[in-house]
Amino acid sequence: MKTILITGTTNGIGKETVLSLARQGHQIVMANRSRDKSQRLADEISKQTGNTNISLLDLDLMSLASVRECAAEFKRLHPKLDVLLNNAGMMAHEEVKTRDGFEAQFAVNNLAQLLLTVELIPALEAAAPSHVIFVTSMMHKLGKIDFDSFRGWKKYNANGSYAQSKLAMMLNAAELAKRLEHKKIAVNTLHPGAVSTGIIDGYSPLAQFFIKMIFTTPEKGARTSIYLANMDPEMAPTGKYFVNSKVAKPGKQTRDQALQKSLWKASCELCGLSPEAV
């Protein structure tokens, strides 16, 4: 039995992932913004699976203070963490700022998840060999890093901002993989496929209708997350990108080591971390 912390579980891929992993008997910790939705889901999944070893944490990825509080509470309650599944994400069709003054997609999809991972390293190290998994997107291949956009764009483009945030996640995951390998903490990323989830809610009803016809289901989209969460930690690779439960080739920019280091430094500083803390 593994202790698995999963973010963003109240719908879509996260919900299906929790359901499958709970059926397998793992200890599940769900970290979400809505305590009421989390509790209803925990009750539902316990009833379906017979697994009552499901607990909740409050987490608002729009607030770095909330991220720190969530990590601190996890470490207070649990001696170790076998798998951290950074599943939560957002797409904003209009520019939004977080409580810390950052552009929301960059903050939620990159900064908050980086900070959560770093804050949980002691628990991951206690369980080593352990595994950190980031749910990214093939959209990272279209991303470009604009260091001047992190607190707001001169001209906002939702898709461009989203692609940048997922590229940033990929770059920081690659840097984390190198920095954590000696601690026996594997770090991998995955593309779940084009999945019809709540992330499309900002589109028009007509657009949502056609998207749902083309996109795959959350159940199918969760398969690679479940595959990696169940992977034998002794056998897990690190620094890899997975599609359809197989290692795939990421975008060219993710292999730019100079860009990795410069974004790592900038991201850590924006989170209030020392770049050499890991």
**Active site (catalytic) residues:** 162
For residues 56 and 39, is the Cβ–Cβ distance under 8 A? yes
- Spatial separation of the C-alpha atoms in residues 243 and 194, rounded to whole Å: 11
Q: CA 171, 172, 176, 178: dihedral to nearest 10 degrees? A: 30
- Spatial separation of the C-alpha atoms in residues 162 and 140, rounded to whole Å: 8
Q: Angle, nearest 10°, between helix axes 257-271 and 158-180?
A: 100
- For residue 188, what are the β-bridge partners? 133
- Spatial separation of the C-alpha atoms in residues 208 and 173, rounded to whole Å: 31
| 31-46 exposure pattern, b = at least 16 Cβ within 10 A, e = fewer | bbbeeeebeebbeebe
CA atoms 13, 15, 18, 21: torsion sign = negative
Structure tokens at 136: 């990214």
- Spatial separation of the C-alpha atoms in residues 227 and 108, rounded to whole Å: 24
Angle at 91 between CA 212 and CA 189, to 5 degrees: 90
